[in-house]
Structure 1
Amino acid sequence: MTHRALLAATAIALAGTTAAFADAHTDSPFSITTIEYGERYLASTLIGESVHVADTEIMPGVALAAGTVDEWDDIGEIGDLIVGVDGTLQAVVLDIGGFLGIGERQVAIDWSALRPVYEEDNLEEYFLGLNVTQEQLEAAPELERTDADG
């Protein structure tokens, strides 16, 4: 390979690396500018949201008949979110049972287990459903916190 050919090959290789490096670092950290509920949720609206259990399968994105959620058991509410250091939502902490915080316990469930659903007479308000039985819920292990977690 001649000196000129070696320089040309090196320049092409560096240009490709530089372009790939530039592409990887030009993405803006401001990628979300609009929130459409049903696809994205704010943690502040999820925390405190009631969670209902249903013994029938809940299909996400399908509007339910008016009054359907009234027939489901309200088992508690979202008390916290568990986010990994990689930025992924690892679990949702449910505050279940008890009365006015007395006798309440916390269980962690996968976010993917919750089903945001709507009733056909009010598509603006969503409900969170969970396909588990009361027995499964009562048998769920309680979330243990370490001192570092608070």
Structure 2
Amino acid sequence: MSTEAHTITQSPLLEMEDIEKAVLDSAALTPAEAEERFRRIGDILLLNVQVLDLDEDIDNLATFAVGAAEELSDFLRERTLRFAGRRHWQYRPLILKKGGNNDAFSDLYPPEFRKETMMECLLYNLCKDDRFAEGANALAGLRDYPPVTKKARKTKR
């Protein structure tokens, strides 16, 4: 891509506390209430993409969602640093829009699909953290994403 790469070194993300609370609370909610949380989280993720002026290529959005999970989870952040030596966004820099536009070669989808993709990546990663696992799996179950079990969360060495 001809667009610029960008590394986020500090947490400029908006409303991350709302995402954290929504995921943590979701295990105890009715499906209708959890669906509201699911949609709100997707909206927050897309808002952050727009505020950061990120290219909306589907792979770039997935990378963003993994980094957002790291922002929320000390476990994920520490694990990434232990195995990779740097944060996700440092070894997979995010691509910015150029002149306010996505790159001509960006793989673009409708906004709802973009949110769903980011949610699937976010929840898959948060399921690996015991603190978020129950709520993240409850939200993932709304879309039949495969659950991440305790056994799947263990890292082979």
TM-score of the alignment, normalized to the shorter chain, above 0.5: no
Higher helix share: 2
Larger radius of gyration: 1
TM-score by length of 1: 0.25
TM-score by length of 2: 0.24
Task: Determine which structure has greater relative contact order: mean sequence separation of CA pairs < 8 Å that are 6+ residues apart, divided by chain length.
Answer: 2
Higher strand share: 1
